[in-house]
Structure 1
């Protein structure tokens, strides 16, 4: 009997790549998105339906529709998310709320909605898509960092609670991908004029320009990692996928003394402090 996976944010990027990857490997896929599109041709095992993580009612409806279509749901991938970009002082309270509504509370609401089904069938798998920004910080993405740090702590703690119920929680941490994520973040950039930050912004923008030029993981490569997490039969919590720079940053965060790490970030990202 084929297993069924529900994926949020499946209209593009990692979510779409994951939906196609699982479908090609024989899984039934409940591909959810805010504005449902036509399922890809040639895939009878992909069911597209509406789910907006900011509207809890649509979460319940999507889960019910997926179960009605395929009989059960075995796994959920919480992929829907975005990055709020900009100086914190320039970000509005509404933008702060929206960042957490999507990246944190939306994930929590989706998990809360699926847990009764998982408890009833005495098994289930939850894969939360985090980010390198859930392990180390960068300037200009303080809210995105905060949301992903929250997601990491929630996921890790939840994994202990649900293990007793034969429900596994896993985290996939992409370190930058060649999707429309950067474009979406730039569109949400908060550009309230605050001239006191100009020197910092000039330096930070140079850093982000350098990051854009790095070799990034493709959405398909991340999808392969999600599939590995879903099928490897282990209780591994975290799965990293990214280039050498990303791997180095995570390793530094894990191994350097705290203040040494902070100083290394300041030296790398705040050259304006030593500029004339």
Structure 2
């Protein structure tokens, strides 16, 4: 099998949750490889900080900080409009749904509103971002998307996953090892 070397100069990538951690590291690394990275962050201060990270070679790659809160539909839509305008006909090459929060506590100790926020961020937010940005993938035809993505199965799959990881123990729900 023969492999071609990827030319990232005309490739646009969107990364959510790019203000810190793995999202930030991925954005900086992809920029260093020559990609044009739309780095989704929730605050102006994070956007300003990311835009001031020094560039070793100004001819390689680009980071465009993008205000994006995956829990807010209006924010996702605004970001989609910005990315669509900036990408033009080249569209997106990749989407990295990195935004997320971790609630590390026994299930019986987690208030429902905290669990809702985690699900809204990690699952519903990721799905909303996919739905908004999928049309920007230049080489993905409508028929392919309909065949590969079955949104009506998504909720049932998540429900089964959550149920399979929970067990009843002494009248309390406890998290079971996968």
Match in the other structure for 2:36? 28
- TM superposition shift of 1:122: 3.2
**1:50 matched to 2:67:** yes
**1:64 matched to 2:51:** no
C-alpha RMSD over aligned residues: 2.6
Match in the other structure for 1:78? 97
Q: How many residue pairs align between the two structures?
A: 131
Q: Provide TM-score, normalisation by structure 2.
A: 0.65
Q: Provide TM-score, normalisation by structure 1.
A: 0.43
Specify the SS of the correspondent of 1:21. helix
In the TM superposition, 1:1-276 aligns within 5 A as 2-36=10-44, 37-38=47-48, 39=51, 40-42=53-55, 45-71=62-88, 72-118=91-137, 121-123=138-140, 161-162=148-149
- TM superposition shift of 1:91: 1.1
CA-to-aligned-CA distance 1:195-227 (integer Å, 9 cap, x gap):
xxxxxxxxxxxxxxxxxxxxxxxxxxxxxxxxx
- TM superposition shift of 1:59: 1.1
- TM superposition shift of 1:65: 1.0
* CA shift in 2, pair 1:160/1:17, >3 Å: farther
* CA shift in 2, pair 1:94/1:49, >3 Å: same
List gaps (5 residues or longer) in structure 1.
Answer: 125-157, 163-261, 266-276
Q: Is the 8 A contact 2:23 2:98 kept in 1?
A: yes
Match in the other structure for 1:253? none
